[in-house]
Chain A
Amino acid sequence: MKYVDTAQVQKRMNLRLTTNKLAKSLFFLSTMFGLIVLVVLIYRVFSQGIQWIDLQFLTGKLSTFAENAGVMGPLLGSFWLMLVVAPLTMFLGVGTAIYLEEYAKKGRIPSFIQTNIANLAGVPSIVFGLLGLTVFVKGFSLGNVVLAGGLTMSLLVLPIVVVASQESIRAVPQYLREASYGMGATKWQTVKNVVLPASLPGILTGVILSLSRAIGETAPLVVLGIPALLIPFPDSIFDKFTVMPLQIYYWTIDSALTKEYANLAAGAIVVLLMLLFLMNSIAIIIRNKYQRRL
């Protein structure tokens, strides 16, 4: 006798196909929801801010007069901040990931560290601000300069880099390591010549994503007491500074008194968004370029 009743199967076919279609529409709508919100947001910001963006706005100093104000100061501030954050997170983050994946023997201590890195990634950014204030600004008496902000931001994004790097190191197939060790390579030679090249796209993506996070992050810098004053352009890591999101924040607050500041904020948002899109595009290009080679 047959276990599968053909008539029964026929009868249920319609229902199954309908459910299938329903599922598809549901997931499509979920995707659309995020997309539409994003489009509306970008449209609003651009339509308000784009006409304010000109050379003067991009290269000008801060000014109490809205029509003279420019974002060069915060742009430079963000740039200097990245100059601290990028090498630091790259070195510490990738180093930690390599240690945990390649060197540390699996056991209690590494898995303890692992759990804590994951936890660290979930700590609210304002808490990192408090840490930075206590340790770097006050403890090391750095004051609220680029270096202190950069160190704080590095700590904040470090877990992202570590986790992304670990994942991409773990994805390097074991047989490539075996091939290298099998020829008498040391651990470091294997890491340098086989593991890192193969995991580089993932690592770079992680680093760039963490940098865009650091560029957009505001709360910890507020806690560090970064001024909203008309300070001179920073030109070293020991100078006082402000950054794009912070400037947007202050302009938005001040727009209660001076209406034109709202437009400045919108303009600055557009500049910041473009910067972020640029960085994310670079991340994607790097990933695609290297992945094809694998």
Chain B
Amino acid sequence: MTTLTIEKKNNKRKIEKNQSTSNASNKKNVFETKDLNLWYGDDHALKEINLSIPENEVTAIIGPSGCGKSTFIKTLNRMVEMVPIVKISGAIKYREKNIFQPKYRVEELRTQVGMVFQKPNPFPKSIYDNIAYGPRIHGIRNKKILDQIVEKSLRGAAIWDEVKDRLNENAYGLSGGQQQRICIARCLAIEPDVILMDEPTSALDPISTLKVEELVQELKKDYSIVIVTHNMQQAARISDKTAFFLTGEVVEFSDTDALFSNPEDKRTEDYITGRFG
């Protein structure tokens, strides 16, 4: 009980710090970053980020190209560490545990925090094997269970009807939009807690984009979602909260409605009204 109250206090303080207008009151947070800094070599890509990602909501990250959006969400599942020159300071708490603790297992984190990438990146394997990849690496061998997971995940990603008769065909034979939904399904198959999406629709046509957007709305019932997007209409349509990044800093973080209708910072206003690079 006590820890919970402390946690809440912490939240409040952070929210004040981010000049947030939002309520955020009794929602739990999946992620909380504290004074997060990241450098690529000498290039300071993330500066003093203090953000709280709420549970079962869609949090959008917007901002001009190169402002650190991808870097930020890749830091949440520590994928950014694949770049050898990266240095990080500060803390990220996932479910109240600092993910940078020396003993923290990245493999465990990434099982809980799934990721969908900007470019669809299915494996050159069958559709079935793509979806079963995650469960298999986590040790599920039972064919019946795998079958069920595959169907559930494909249904969850709204692509079951399109591929159910060709599960053994190579996923490369699908269209870009279908491939991206396969990737979402692949991510659902490990039953994550949080789903990170880095511009999941930037390579898709309008209809596929719409499908993915609807999907995100559907998924937020069961998952917490962080989505990077270049498309402000998209952010406004599908997200509950929005963070505006600029040159590695969070300029504004609040409820999406508030941010778009009534931005507090001049720079946010310039950006969302298109008066800004």
Which of these binds chain B: A34-42, A143-151, A181-189, A237-245?
A: A181-189
Minimum CB–CB distance for A95 against chain B, Å? 21
Partner of B133, one of A178, A183, A293: A183
Q: Shortest distance in angstroms between A191's beta carbon and chain B's nearest beta carbon?
A: 12
Inside 8 A of A173's CB, which chain B residues have their CB? Answer: 121
| Interface 0/1 of B97-124, CB less than 8 Å to A | 0000000001111110011010101111
B107 partner, pick from A106, A176, A178, A185, beta carbons under 8 A:
A185
Pair A175/B137 contact, Cβ less than 8 Å: no
Q: Which residue of A lies closest to B183 (CB)?
A: A179
Whether the Cβ atoms of B123 and A176 lie closer than 8 Å is yes
- Establish whether residues A182 and B114, one from each chain, have CB atoms under 8 Å apart when the complex forms: yes
- A185 adjacent to B170 (CB under 8 Å): no
User: Given A178-B82, A178-B121, A294-B124, does the pair A189, B77 have CB atoms closer than 8 Å?
Assistant: no
Instruction: Give the 8 A-B residue pairs with the shortest CB-CB distance, closest first.
Output: A184-B111, A184-B110, A175-B121, A182-B115, A183-B134, A184-B107, A185-B137, A179-B121
Q: How far is the CB of A231 from chain B (nearest CB, A)?
A: 49
Report yes or no: B137 in contact with A184, Cβ–Cβ below 8 A: yes
B79 interfacial contact with A, CB 8 Å? yes
Interface mask (B115-143 → A, CB under 8 Å = 1, otherwise 0): 10101011110000000011001100000
Question: Is B146 an interface residue when CB atoms closer than 8 A count as contact?
Answer: no
A residues in contact with B117, CB < 8 Å: 175, 178-179, 182
A293 to chain B: closest CB distance in Å? Answer: 7
What's the Cα separation between A176 and B183 when bound, in Å? 11
How far in angstroms is the closest Cβ of chain A from B134?
4
A236 at the interface (CB under 8 A from B): no
Contact across chains for A184 and B138 when beta carbons are under 8 A apart: yes
CB-based contact A180/B124 at 8 Å: no
For A213-234 the 0/1 string (1 means CB < 8 A from B) is 0000000000000000000000
| Given A179-B117, A184-B107, A194-B123, 6 other A-B residues pairs in contact with their CB atoms under 8 A | A175-B121, A183-B111, A183-B134, A183-B137, A185-B137, A197-B124
Please measure, in the bound complex, the distance between the C-alpha atom of A72 and the C-alpha atom of B137, giving whole angstroms: 48
Chain B residue contacts of A194, Cβ below 8 A: 123
Q: Are B121 and A184 neighbours in the complex by a CB distance under 8 Å?
A: no
Give the A-binding residues of B (Cβ under 8 A): 77, 79, 82, 84, 106-111, 114-115, 117, 119, 121-124, 133-134, 137-138, 170, 172, 183, 186-187, 190
A183 touches B84 (CB 8 A): no
Asked if B121 and A176 make an inter-chain contact with CB atoms under 8 angstroms apart, the answer reads yes
- Tell me whether A184 and B134 are in contact (CB under 8 A): yes
Measured CB to CB, the closest approach of chain A to B147, in angstroms, equals 19
The answer to whether A47 has its CB under 8 Å from any CB of chain B is: no
Q: Is A262 an interface residue (CB 8 A)?
A: no
Bound CA span A195–B84, Å: 19
B119-A182 in contact (CB<8A): no
23 A-B residue pairs with CB within 8 Å: A105-B84, A175-B119, A178-B117, A179-B121, A179-B122, A179-B123, A180-B133, A180-B137, A182-B77, A182-B110, A182-B187, A183-B133, A183-B187, A184-B106, A184-B107, A184-B108, A184-B109, A184-B138, A185-B107, A186-B107, A186-B137, A294-B124, A294-B172
Which residues on the B side are within 8 Å of A71 (C-beta)?
Answer: none
* CB pair B190 A293 closer than 8 Å: no
Q: Given A105-B84, A178-B79, A293-B170, is A183 in contact with B114 using a C-beta cutoff of 8 Å?
A: yes
A269 within 8 A of B: no
A169 to nearest B CB, angstroms?
15
**Are the C-beta atoms of A181 and B110 separated by less than 8 Å?**
yes
In the complex, chain A residues 158-183 whose Cβ is within 8 Å of any chain B Cβ? 173, 175-183
Instruction: Kindly state the separation between the CA atoms of A178 and B137 in the bound complex, as whole angstroms.
Output: 15
| Chain B minimum-CB-distance residue to A186 | B107
Residue of A179, A180, A197, A198 most packed against chain B (CB within 10 A): A179
Q: Which residues of A contact B79 (CB under 8 A)?
A: 178, 181-182
